[in-house]
Amino acid sequence: MKKLEEMIARLSGYMGRMEEEAKEQYNFKDLTVTQMHYLETISELENPNLTELAGALKLTKPTVTVLIDKLIEKDLVYRIQSDADRRSTHLHLTEKGKLINAMHGYAHRRMVEDIQKRITADEMEQFIYVLRKILV
């Protein structure tokens, strides 16, 4: 199915560009790609401890310790010590840290607006139906 492959290549480019735009819009210039990746992963894992985060990022614990210290200094992350296990702490995003997710939301809403302009309501229904089957 060559046509679909072509469309997916374009879709990939389209979504990448929209995320880029959102990043500029949110003025995340002082955040590196790596730092962004840490924040996204903390959000996905929902307050992991340091070992879990290091595992998900495939990095060593000392590496992650150091970078988390920097993110804490920038007021993007904070630690909460676990009650159950006093060795370990859970990582949380501050309100400022949560802006990254807001940024993704912004990119996605922009795409929705853009798509709505280009297709009819019926086509939209069908499109969502198929996407749902694909993405379960």
Partner DNA sequence: TTTTTTTGTTAGGATTATCTAACTAATTTT
Partner DNA sequence: AAAATTAGTTAGATAATCCTAACAAAAAAA
Interacting residue ranges for DNA, rule: CB under 7 A: 32-35, 49-52, 59-63, 65-70, 79, 82, 85-89
CA separation for the pair 97, 93 (Å, rounded): 5
Task: Say which entry of DNA, its own copies, none residue 61 contacts (CB below 5 to 8 A, set by partner kind).
Answer: DNA
Q: Is 70 near its own copies (CB under 8 A)?
A: no
Q: In sequence order, which ranges of 26-94 are alpha helices (DSSP H)?
A: 33-45, 50-57, 61-73
Window contacting its own copies (CB under 8 A); options: 47-55, 64-72, 88-96, 107-115: 107-115
Identify which of residues 73 and 122 has a Cβ nearer to its own copies in the complex: 122
CA separation for the pair 70, 93 (Å, rounded): 13
Q: Is 84 near its own copies (CB under 8 A)?
A: no
The H-or-E segment that residue 46 falls in is: none
Cα 23 to the center of its chain, rounded Å: 12
* Residue of the chain from 27, 33, 46, 73 that contacts its own copies (CB under 8 A): 33
